[in-house]
Amino acid sequence: DVKVTQSSRYLVKRTGEKVFLECVQDMDHENMFWYRQDPGLGLRLIYFSYDVKMKEKGDIPEGYSVSREKKERFSLILESASTNQTSMYLCASSSSTGYQETQYFGPGTRLLVL
Amino acid sequence: KNQVEQSPQSLIILEGKNCTLQCNYTVSPFSNLRWYKQDTGRGPVSLTIMTFSENTKSNGRYTATLDADTKQSSLHITASQLSDSASYICVVSPWNNAGNMLTFGGGTRLMVKP
């Protein structure tokens, strides 16, 4: 069974704080993704990574950065949290070997920025 | 711009009844279409996947259909159970199946009442 875990289920932070969200997958997947999910909107891609130390911007990278020092771990960083970053954050991973790459999602981190 | 529209936004049905969720998309050409189930407070889990050449795919009580000509898909749930209460998300992959270019629908929130 593919397992994607995220460091926190719920987080409450204050405006201006630095926030770290961590994601770990145990299936040796090459690809990892960070999305945010807001009510009524589809998942929006923030950043993704196809290899260790490699990162690419998604559709909404502003205000975020990422780090992938090890294959199994992909971190999302909010350098200075703002209230409009209150959201549900979902991490996903997938393999590059198959044609139809299914993305496997973590349980999500619900972040509230006050 | 690629879009995936789902309807209805929310639905309440009685346990044991059937229901059908709709997904219309503009992604073209596309590689495959997936339906995900997302329980409250959890990450999405893949239910079905169909390529552009497939018309229907079943997974237990879930049956997905695809009409690539009209760019419509539906998810039919038979004999609903309380555990079917969740959000259902339609996801379309572009022609190159690039993991960073998925287009997500906003989801349909289904509540099954006893």
Which residues of chain A fall below pLDDT 70? 1-2, 97-100
| A·B CB contacts under 8 A | 59
Q: Is B2 part of the contact surface with chain A (CB cutoff 8 Å)? A: no
Q: Is B29 part of the contact surface with chain A (CB cutoff 8 Å)? A: no
Nearest to A107 among B31, B42, B97 (CB): B42
Beta strands A56-57 and A31-37, pairing class? unpaired
What is the three-class DSSP state of B107? coil
List residues of A whose CB lies inside 8 A of any B CB.
4, 9, 31, 33, 40-45, 48, 56, 58, 90-92, 94, 99-108, 110
- Distance from the A103 Cα atom to the nearest Cα atom in chain B, whole angstroms: 8
Position A99 scores a pLDDT of 57
Task: Kindly list the residues from chain A whose CB atom is less than 8 angstroms away from the CB atom of residue B87.
Answer: none
Residue of chain A with shortest Cα separation from B40 = A107
Residue A33 token pair: 């993704």
Nearest to A33 among B4, B36, B99 (CB): B99
DSSP characters over chain A: ---EEES-SEEEE-TT--EEEEEEESS--SEEEEEEE-TTS--EEEEEESSTT--EE-S--TT-EEEEEETTEEEEEESS--GGG-EEEEEEEE-SSSSS---EE---EEEEE-
Position A97 scores a pLDDT of 64
Q: Do A90 and B43 touch (CB under 8 A)?
A: yes
Which residues of chain B fall below pLDDT 50? none
Q: Is B99 part of the contact surface with chain A (CB cutoff 8 Å)? A: yes
Position B100 scores a pLDDT of 76
> What is the amino acid identity at position A33?
F
Q: Is B75 part of the contact surface with chain A (CB cutoff 8 Å)? A: no
Find residue B24's DSSP bridge partners.
B5, B72
Position B62 scores a pLDDT of 97
**Cβ neighbourhood burial of A34 (10 Å; 0-12, 13-18, 19+):** buried
- Distance from the B114 Cα atom to the nearest Cα atom in chain A, whole angstroms: 26
Integer Cα distance of B2 and B94 in angstroms = 9
